[in-house]
Amino acid sequence: MPSHPTADRHLPLTDELAGAFARMSGLLLTQETVDTALGLLSALAQETIPGSTGAGVSIIDGGRRVSSGATDEQVRRADALQYELDEGPCLAAASLRDVVRIDDLAEEDRWPRWAAAARPLGLRATLSAPLVAGDVSLGAMKVYADRPGVFDAHSEQLLGMLSPQAAVLVANVRSYDRAKRFSEDMRKAVRDRDVVNMAKGVLMGRSNLDEESAAAVLLRQAHTAETTVTAAAHAVLESTARRRR
């Protein structure tokens, strides 16, 4: 029985994906390595989706909107226009969690300001797929074209094979960043606690106070100076150091 032609068209992409993800598997997922991996996926999207002249990923995290892995400056400028105008196919794909296709920017009326601003860049068509990890939308992956009508259902299927991998990478680096921030916050909390305890010890020894009274003194000093208890504790320690000189 002959193989289905559509299935045959998928085989080269499957082979390339296997090699690409094998190269990614040993990488520590920091922001830098994820940017590199997303660049690899974007280049793969441009190469394998017929008619594509550029590709990239838009990462959306709250009010933060950034581009990563863009294949060229044209993609970065087209993305920046979406963020600046607060409209466009990538933002819509991320919000709707669905594929968004523009066959001809000259006839686009859903995001007229962005379409008008993007046409001078030489863009005529675009295809965007959402990045979804679990129940969280992380952004969108997109390809651009300099001719109208080049993307079709098969293009959507190909981009749909790449966007979940991009979503995994973005989700992993976001978890990495949050863990790093949490670790830094914990270290700062420990440092602050140690400074406060040292200042209380100084006050206890200097004024013959118990721990509760020393803490109350720090609180009053912080209130008077309109600062934090940690800053008041630093002031006590600095004052003590100056007296010893």
Strands across the sheet with 136-145, in order?
A: 64-68, 54-61, 136-145, 125-133, 100-102
Rounded Cα distance between 34 and 56, Å, is 13
- Tens place of pLDDT per residue across the chain (245 aa): 333 344 344 445 555 555 555 555 545 456 667 788 889 889 999 999 999 999 999 999 878 899 999 999 999 999 999 999 999 999 999 999 999 999 999 999 999 999 999 999 999 999 999 999 888 899 999 999 999 999 999 999 999 989 998 888 888 766 555 545 555 555 666 677 778 888 888 888 888 888 888 888 888 888 888 888 888 888 888 877 777 76
What beta strand segments (E) does the chain contain?
Answer: 54-61, 64-68, 100-102, 125-133, 136-145
The whole-number pLDDT of residue 202 equals 84
Q: Among candidates 86, 73, 78, which has minimal Cα distance to 119?
A: 78
Residue pair 233/194 in contact by the 8 Å Cβ criterion: no
Q: Residue 184 has which token pair?
A: 């830094």
Residues 6+ apart with CB under 8 A from 137: 60, 94, 95, 97, 130, 131
The CATH classification number of 5-180 equals: 3.30.450.40
Q: Residue 79 has which token pair?
A: 């993305």
Q: Among candidates 138, 141, 142, 140, which has minimal Cα distance to 174?
A: 138
Q: What angle do CA 22, 28, 32 make, to 5 degrees?
A: 105
The whole-number pLDDT of residue 172 equals 76
Would you list the domain boundaries of the chain?
5-180, 183-244
Rounded Cα distance between 173 and 179, Å, is 10
The whole-number pLDDT of residue 83 equals 97
The whole-number pLDDT of residue 22 equals 52
Any idea which architecture 183-244 has in CATH? Orthogonal Bundle (1.10)
Rounded Cα distance between 102 and 98, Å, is 13
Whole-number Cα distances in Å, 68 to 39, 135, 157, 169, 202? 7, 22, 22, 11, 51
The whole-number pLDDT of residue 201 equals 87
User: pTM for the whole thing?
Assistant: 0.65
